[in-house]
Each structure stands twice: as C-alpha cells, then as structure tokens.
Amino acid sequence: MNPMTQSDTLFQRAQHSIPGGVNSPVRAFKAVGGTPPFIQSAQGARVVDVDNRHYIDYIGSWGPMICGHAHPEVVEAVQKAMSRGASFGAPTEKEVQLAETIINLVPSIEMVRLVNSGTEATMSAVRLARAATGRDSLLMFEGCYHGHGDAFLAKAGSGLATFGVPSSPGVPQATVQQTLTLPYNNLQAVNDLFARHDAGIAAVIVEPVAGNMGCVPPEPGFLQGLATICRRHGTLLIFDEVMTGFRVARGGAQELYGVTPDLTTLGKIIGGGLPVGAYGGRRDLMQQIAPSGPVYQAGTLSGNPLATAAGLATLNILSQPGFYETLEWRCQRLCAGISSILESNAIPHVATRVGSMFGLFFTNNKTVKNFDEANTSDRIRFNRWFHGMLQQGIFLAPSQFEAGFLSIAHDDAIIDATLDAAQQVAFTLTVP
C-alpha cells in the first residue's frame, strides 16, 4: 500500500469543505481515477506539487499560459499594477489599451467589451444576438463547450436537429427549449435544419476548433459553410475563441481559416491567465450593449487592473516575430513523435493538432471529426496512458475529451523529455 501523500491529505480535507474537493469538476480526476496533484508553484513549462514532484505541464491552465508560467514580463506587469491597487470599479487607461490591442489583432472585432470569464462572454454574446435579430433559437454543436450558462447545458434530443434537453439538474426545460444541437462538422445537417426551421435562428455558436471533445479540427469548408448559411438566413455567427483566440494564430482561428464571424468570444489568454474574458464584433452590434444601447450587461471586476496589465504584457510577448512559427514547429514535433512511438508499438490512435493545440484518441477510427467518433476512444487505454505519463512527470489533461496545449517555454529539451517518457509508457500499453 502506497503511503499517503500531501496531495492525498489535501484532497481528503478539501472534500469536507468543497463539493467533490475541487472548484472545477475535471480537476477531481473522476474520468481517470486517482488523486489529483495539488500544485504549489509553476515556472515556464513545469509545475510543482505540494509533494515537490515536478511535472512538464501540457494543461497550461486549460490554454491561456501560452507564454509559460510566471513569465518575468507578465509577473512584473502584475506586480506594478497591484502596487497601484487591485480594483477601482472605475475606468482605467489599461482597459482602453487592451481593447485597442484586441481590435488590432482580431480581424472581425471592431468593438469589444471586457468581462470576467469565458462563460460570461458567451452568455453575453448570445443575449446580444437574440436582441439584435429578434429571434430566440440558438444552434450549437455536440461536444462543443461554451461555459456553464443554462442555455449551453443542453444535449441532443431524441433525433437529429431536435431541440436540446437539459444536461444538468437545475436547468429548466424552458431554458434549453430554444437550443438546437447538431453534430460538429456536419454542414448538410445545418443546411437541412435551416431549411425547415421557420421561426429563424438568432445565432450559431461554434468552437472553430473543438477543444472540449479532445482537439477536433474543422473539416475543410465547414466554417466557411456556416458563415454562408448564416448570412443567407440573417443569423449571427459566433466564434467561441475562448480556447483558440491568440492560441492557434495571432488573430485566432478566424485568421487561420479566413472566416469572419459576426461576434467573437475570448478567454483568459487576454489576461495572461488571470480571470478575464471578452466578447466583440461588428460595431453596429456592439453599440447595442449598455450603456450605448438597451442590451444590459455589467460587471464590477470587468477590465480589472491586474488582468489588463497581465493581458497587455502577454499580447506583447506573442506579437514578437517568430513566436507562432516556433510554437507550431515544436507542437508538430511533439505530436509527430508521439504518433510515431504509438505506431511502432501497434497502438491504434488518431493524433490531431491545430497550431499549439493537440489531441490524442485511442481509437480504431481513421479520423475523429465529431463527438460520436471521439466517443469511440478506448477510455481504459487512455487512463493507463494518462497515469503512466503522470508517473513519468508529464502532466496531461485528465480526460480523453480535453485538448492539450504547448507554451513557448516548451523547448526542444522539454519535448525530448516528453518523448522519452512516451516511449516508456507506450510499451506498457501493449500489455493486457
């Protein structure tokens, strides 16, 4: 029997005061089993737990730590901001600077509103879309996650293109009765739905690269097709770039794929990992937000001084020449190396990657392009892979259905160490 670790002790203690012992469900390791390591510090590409075990981190706070943990320029910016005060509940110059920077970098955004989280951004964008179109229905895609707002906690009904049903207790049926769900990457299903939905659809919201069923890239023409259908029917297209914004390209997935949405949501990457989010888009739409217009949305900590300081420092770092080229090359090398190792051990899998986001599915399928195909993955094999890599000092997302992320701090030595670990673990996966 293994001795109790400090993480074990903390987890037991936490369960007396925090539901499930964690403040966000995936941290509890329910999908993979075991006790989550409690992290005490991080630097660059590594995190350290309370038992002083060091890990190479491919979670990156679920994406925003693109510059690595505790980057000196970001730390300095936050320290200076904190010395002047944490929150004022009043406008600051840095809010304006961050808004201007986002507008300069993201192709579709003409005006932007800072909020406190990705969930708040998506909820607000949908409210604006409904107000602007005078319609109620929302179309989303199975396997995409847009935060824990009630309207998004819907799963597919009894048949294709039916209204959603609540996927969580506490969400009223009436709240999701205007939420429609379709398979991701199925443009024909979208066309069919619009052809028979007489009342009209206010918005289509989509992760342009799905990151919450693993990393699932859009099929060629899928995003472009969504934009065309939305324009034809007077429906607003919302790109949920909480994960992909400033991650897969400097201007997000919309720059990478050359598609212009009406509205865009962004997450913690614009705050260097601090609590922040944003939604923005066409000027005529954004001017409908209070106090310019009648669509109400507010927040005491929106655009707070710490997050804006960290965000400006982060966006300055990733705007340096060669940043994305280096990041993409390193992620390509990592993913190709892991795939080669698994192939040499005759382990069926699908490896996916867009920019510095990546996914790995232990499946006999040749491709993974939607949630049903992702769901064919061998969870038992993934769990063995996850725990094997964790024992080797590699911290991956503790779920088959979460993407992984690189930072600029993942240098060649870090990637070599990861591939060495993968070689050790892959051999164990061949043993029944």
Could you state, in order of their start, the residue ranges of all structural domains in the chain? 6-70+322-429, 72-318
30 in active site: no
Contact 138, 154 (CB under 8 A): no
Which candidate in 58, 145, 279, 324 is catalytic?
A: 145
At 76-88, the pLDDT tens digits run 999 999 999 999 9
145 in active site: yes
Q: 387: Cβ–Cβ under 8 A, 6 or more apart, which residues?
A: 32, 33, 34
Query: If you average pLDDT over every residue of the chain, what do you get?
Result: 94
pLDDT band at 159 (very low <50, low <70, confident <90, very high): very low
How far is Cα 406 from Cα 387, in angstroms, rounded to an integer? 19
CA distances from 106 to 110, 213, 311, 381 (A): 9, 25, 15, 39
The pLDDT of 253-279, averaged and rounded, is 97
The pLDDT of 188-214, averaged and rounded, is 93
The answer on pLDDT for 242 being more than 90 is yes
**Percentage of the residues of the chain whose pLDDT score is greater than 70:** 97
The reply to whether domains 6-70+322-429 and 72-318 share a CATH topology is: no
Which candidate in 55, 58, 184, 240 is catalytic?
A: 240
Question: Nearest Cα to 208, choosing from 267, 248, 169, 157?
Answer: 248
How far is Cα 373 from Cα 389, in angstroms, rounded to an integer? 24
Q: What does the pLDDT read at residue 169? A: 81
Q: What is the CATH code for 72-318?
A: 3.40.640.10
Which candidate in 55, 58, 257, 268 is catalytic?
A: 268
Neighbouring C-alpha atoms within 13 Å toward the C-beta of 332: 8
The pLDDT of 405-426, averaged and rounded, is 98
Whole-structure pTM over 0.85, yes or no?
Answer: yes
> Is the domain defined by 6-70+322-429 classed in CATH 3.90.1150.10?
yes
The pLDDT of 406-423, averaged and rounded, is 98
240 in active site: yes
Q: CB burial class (10 A; 0-12, 13-18, 19+) of residue 192?
A: middle
Contact 136, 201 (CB under 8 A): no
Q: Map tokens 């708040």 to a residue.
A: 120
